[in-house]
Amino acid sequence: MTDMSLPQTRGRSRAGRIALRWLLYVILGLFALYYLMPLFVMVTTSLKSLEEIRTGDLMSLPRDVTFDAWATAWSGACTGIQCEGVRPFFWNSVLIAVPAVLLSTLIGALNGYVVAQWRFRGANLIFAAMLFGCFIPFQVVLLPMARLLGLMGIAGTIPGLIFVHVIYGLGFTTLFFRNYYVTIPSELTKAAKVDGAGFFRIFWSIFLPLSLPIIVVTIIWQFTQIWNDFLFGVSFSQAGTQPITVALNNIVNSTTGVKEYNVDMATAIIAALPTLLVYVVAGKYFIRGLTAGSVKG
Amino acid sequence: MAPILDIKGLYKNYGQVEILKDINVAIDPGDFLVLVGPSGCGKSTLLNCIAGLEPITGGSLHIDGRDMTNVSPKDRDIAMVFQSYALYPTMTVARNITFGMKVRGVDAATQDRKLREVAQQLQIEQLLSRRPGQLSGGQRQRVAMGRALVRDPKLFLFDEPLSNLDAKLRVEMRTEIKELHQRLNASMVYVTHDQIEAMTLATKIVVMKGGVIQQIGTPSEIYNTPANLFVADFMGNPAMNLIPAKASQTGGETRIEIARKDGAPIVLTDARTRDLPADVIIGVRPEDIAEPGFRASQTAQHAECTVDIVEPAGADTFVVMQMGGKQVTARLHAETTARPGQVQQLAFDLGKVSYFAPDTGQRLN
Amino acid sequence: MSNRSQTLRPLGSWLEHHLPKVVLAPSFIAVLVFVYGFIGWTAWVSLTRSKLLPKYEIHGTIQYERLFAAPRWDVAMNNLFIFGGLFIVISMILGLILAILLDQNIRTEGAIRTIYLYPMALSMIVTGTAWKWILNPGLGIEATVRGWGFETFSFNWLVDPDMAIYTIVIAAIWQSSGFVMALFLAGLRSVDTEIIRAAQVDGIPTWRVYTAIIIPSMAPIFLSAFIVLSHLAVKSFDLVIALTGGGPGFASDLPATYMYAMAFSRGDIGQAASSAMVMMGVVFTIVVPYLYSELRAKND
């Protein structure tokens, strides 16, 4: 990135410039508060007792910090009739996301490698067709997919959800790798061919070692997409296989008993934690995925 | 001696576009073949076809007597050096050089022995554990050469290997490649757009344009008897003077008349050439126009010319004049007295003169 | 002219030659079936009288007639335009302002950017849950402000049928504006610095440099942001479910929730299919010209 800061216009007094600078920071700070406020509310609410929630106000810090709500959220909250907390659903999400992310990334890498480095007649058309798949509203495939999963006997199962996520993730993963691999000179492939290496050898020995950044970008993108998915989860799962987003929604909207806002918030944070963690640790790659998925798509 | 590389009637199309048309080339073992031509002439495509990196549309291709027309690159027993060097970025220099052997399952001891040999030969022993990103352009070039040398192939292919180097390094590496060729007595095919590289390196030159071979010959054949106007213009720097002229037969001699804007035409006679058409283009190398007394041969004929521009170039001085509606360059000695605007006595040596037909561009003599 | 022998090459050689196609083929077939085939299936079913189970006899446009006659669909489409319009326009304006402010050589830029963008990492269900609590009339913002002494303060959009859709706008902007900011910031940074230096040398004031040079040169980024945001708007489903559940009544329904309700709770597959096709039509009119121009530009 280039440094493109513009110097302040001439003719303004030094004091004026400093005041303007302060104003700038104040505005930016206020916006930061705006973006942080819901997270702050979630965390503080999750640490308050129900009693304190009813009497206190939204913005105040908890008087007595209690982790009861977290414990309930993890292992006791009710989703409909079951009251096992969010734990089994958290693991469902893990069991769905991990294989789906790895599979779609691997296939996307191979696809991108073919489209970028082994061009053949029609390869670009195939790529365009796949890219197009990224943009359809998934509502249009929900009904036939539900029937197909039924026919395949994996309706309402975790493998069924993995399958769906891999299929509809391929467009993006292929796009990521294709855009990365087109920047690698084709002479590299040629040199390796002359050296006697074949399709997979070239991929494994030359392209894969070069791909770490794009692998990270793709994995983060896919993980965020799949972990945060609700539509496929709610459409294609059943009681025991629901991902955490569906469970969270069920807990929040369950109408039985007293409304436990602190438990709702703790559950929401638990559901958000993995992707937030990824974001904090690898934010750079997260942003690259977001912009690559939109600017180049 | 059976040709090491034999290309017959090769065609290459991309869809409807013909990239290469009826290519016929054969070289003997130990030949250094240079494919030269302007960009887009198909020379790199031809090299890729020889390597097997591009399938060919028609014709056949033999390497050392074996039909390689449909054989994949790895089975052609070739090695290739690329313009961008195409070093594997994540591998060390040593692994770059041994990768081909590793893929082919050569045992580790042999790999290591050959690596040492090549590294010593190219003086890159101290670079073996580095990665391509840590090397200078010249070092990368050497590693790319090493990767090819270690294979000990039937045929070396070079795709403009020096074009990414700066001028000084380019000349050094050129000499080194020539030396390598002489030492190994290997067969090489070399693509370049630089006609000086072609002249200095080749034992045989193929001049190409628009996917068609213009001329095949030794450097001296190409230089002295270009087959057509394109070759005449392309090979040599400064380029051959190509001057429109009138030819007529007088007795046993041919009389050549070159019109001039200012003053009488230059009239030259050529006793060795006969039966030229009335309109010709006469091709004279700049070094065949000199000051009387310098490099003058038996066949030199004198004429007075008005000098327009004088360009000292160290060893020589070039002067530019108007003749037959063209700028004509003469290569004079460094201490010439020629001055812009002044009349200069010049000697035209027609011993190596070329004549071309203005309409077809083909050589006439 | 071609005398190349193509006959009877051994299988290994064939495979070697066609391996790239073989590798790409499963994905291509998957896309053909699961994207294009399924769209075809949905399109077909949208022309039938399917109810709880799909039927395959074509009955013309009856489902679309029912759809456009349904008050609930009418509300959903209206909401889509309100929501989509506000969401896109406000997100873009906010994103652009934030990007320009952040572009002034801010020392803590990295940290601020991280804060602005983190909502994008959250599930819309989480976002919906958080805002549902914040906007809760009994205990949320309303109660808090009243607690500060403004006894008559009222903020009950969540339960007000006329205003519920705007709560979704609020939450969606909170989630996506940071992302738009990141897009614009990248765009600002990609403008040729020499042009900006030239403008500075010419003595053009900073705000003019932005309005006359930088922002116009970012037109492609505006387009990208617009495409992404409108795409998000049409697909928005999770947020509505989590925040309002489409309520009160069906006051905050969007086409996506309408489709889901028809497909999975009302057992009206014909309506679900036809509403899905209309959604796709909306997305396509926006995305197809964009994709087409992008791919053309790439192939040049």
Of B144, B88, B157, B156, the residue nearest A185 (C-alpha): B88
Backbone CA torsion sign across B49, B52, B56, B58: positive
- Chain A CB contacts of C255 below 8 Å: 139
H runs (alpha helix) in chain B: 43-51, 93-103, 108-122, 137-149, 167-184, 195-201, 219-224, 229-234
DSSP lists the bridge partners of residue B301 as B348
- Residue span(s) of chain C under CATH 1.10.3720.10 come to 63-299
**Which chain A residue shows the shortest CA-CA distance from C238?**
A230
Determine the distance in angstroms separating the CA of A274 from the nearest CA of chain C, rounded to an integer. 9
* pLDDT tens by residue, chain B, 365 residues: 689 999 999 999 988 889 999 999 999 999 999 999 998 899 999 999 999 998 899 999 999 999 999 888 888 999 999 998 999 999 999 999 999 999 989 999 999 999 999 999 889 999 999 999 999 988 999 999 999 999 889 999 999 999 888 889 999 999 999 999 999 889 999 999 999 999 999 999 999 999 999 999 999 999 999 999 999 999 988 899 999 999 888 877 888 888 887 778 888 888 887 788 889 999 999 999 988 877 666 667 888 888 999 999 888 899 999 888 889 999 988 888 888 888 888 888 888 889 999 999 999 88
User: A-B interface: how many C-beta pairs under 8 angstroms?
Assistant: 64
The domain B5-234 is placed in CATH, from the list 3.40.50.720, 3.40.50.300, 3.40.1350.10, 3.30.1600.10, at 3.40.50.300
Three-state SS sequence of chain C: CCCCCCCCCCHHHHHHHHHHHHHHHHHHHHHHHHHHHHHHHHHHHCCECCCCCCCCCECCCHHHHHHHHCHHHHHHHHHHHHHHHHHHHHHHHHHHHHHHHHCCCCCCHHHHHHHHHHHHHCCHHHHHHHHHHHCCCCCCHHHHHHHCCCCCCCCCHHHCCCCHHHHHHHHHHHHHHHHHHHHHHHHHHCCCHHHHHHHHHCCCCHHHHHHHHHHHHCHHHHHHHHHHHHHHHHHCCHHHHHHCCCCCCCCCCCHHHHHHHHHHHCCCHHHHHHHHHHHHHHHHHHHHHHHHHHHHHHHC
Interchain proximity C16–B57, CB inside 8 Å: no
Chain C, residues 133-172, CB within 8 A of chain A, namely: 133-134, 136, 139-141, 143-144, 147-148
Overall CATH class of domain C63-299 = mainly alpha
Contact partners, residue B318, CB within 8 Å, separation at least 6? B238, B286, B310, B311, B329, B330, B331, B332
Give the ipTM.
0.85
Residue in A with minimal Cα distance to B50 = A194
Q: Report the residue of chain A nearest C18, measured CA to CA.
A: A120
Residues of B in contact with C10 (CB under 8 A): none
- Whole-number Å distance between alpha carbons of C213 and A296: 23
Domain boundaries, chain B: 5-234, 241-356
- Looking at the partner chain, which of A9, A54, A279 has a beta carbon nearest the beta carbon of C118? A279
The predicted-structure confidence for A108-133, as pLDDT tens digits, reads as follows: 999 999 999 988 888 888 888 888 88
How close A224 comes to chain C (CA, Å)? 7
Nearest CA in chain B to A119: B54
Whether B316 and B330 have beta carbons less than 8 Å apart is answered as no
How far away is chain C from the Cα of A2, in angstroms, using its nearest Cα? 6
The rounded distance, in Å, linking the Cα atoms of C255 and C124 is 17
Taking contacts as CB-CB distances below 8 angstroms, the residues of chain C near A120 are 20-21
Q: CA Rg, chain C, in Å? A: 25
C13 contacts in chain B (CB < 8 Å): 72
Question: Strand order of the sheet with strand B316-323?
Answer: B289-290, B343-349, B300-312, B316-323, B326-333
When scoring B12, B23, B70 by the number of chain C Cβ atoms within 10 A, the one with the most, hence best to mutate, is: B70
Mean pLDDT of A43-72: 81
Minimal CA separation from C39 to chain B, in Å? 33
Q: Which tokens hold the place of B126?
A: 């101290």
For residues A251-265, give the mean pLDDT: 79
**Residues in C lying within 8 Å of B, measured between beta carbons:** 1-5, 9, 13, 16-17
Interchain pair C24, A1: CB under 8 A? no
Rounded to whole angstroms, the Cα distance separating A233 from A245 reads 8
Task: For domain A87-296, give the CATH number.
Answer: 1.10.3720.10
- Separation in Å, CA of B66 to nearest CA in chain C: 14
Q: How many CA atoms lie within 13 A of B192 on its CB side?
A: 25
Q: What is the pTM (predicted TM-score) of this model?
A: 0.85
Nearest CA to B110 out of B141, B152, B143 is that of: B152
Cα distance from B102 to chain A (closest Cα, Å)? 9
**Interchain pair C4, B72: CB under 8 A:** no
Distance CA B287, CA B353 (A): 11
Whole-number Å distance between alpha carbons of C273 and A143: 8
The domain ranges of chain A are 14-66, 87-296
B241-356 classified as CATH 2.30.30.40:
no
- Which of A193, A201, A210 is closest, CB to CB, to B73? A193
Output phi, psi for B290, to 5 deg: -140, 180
Chain C residue with the nearest C-alpha to that of B54: C17
- The answer to whether residue B83 neighbours chain A at the CB level (below 8 Å) is yes
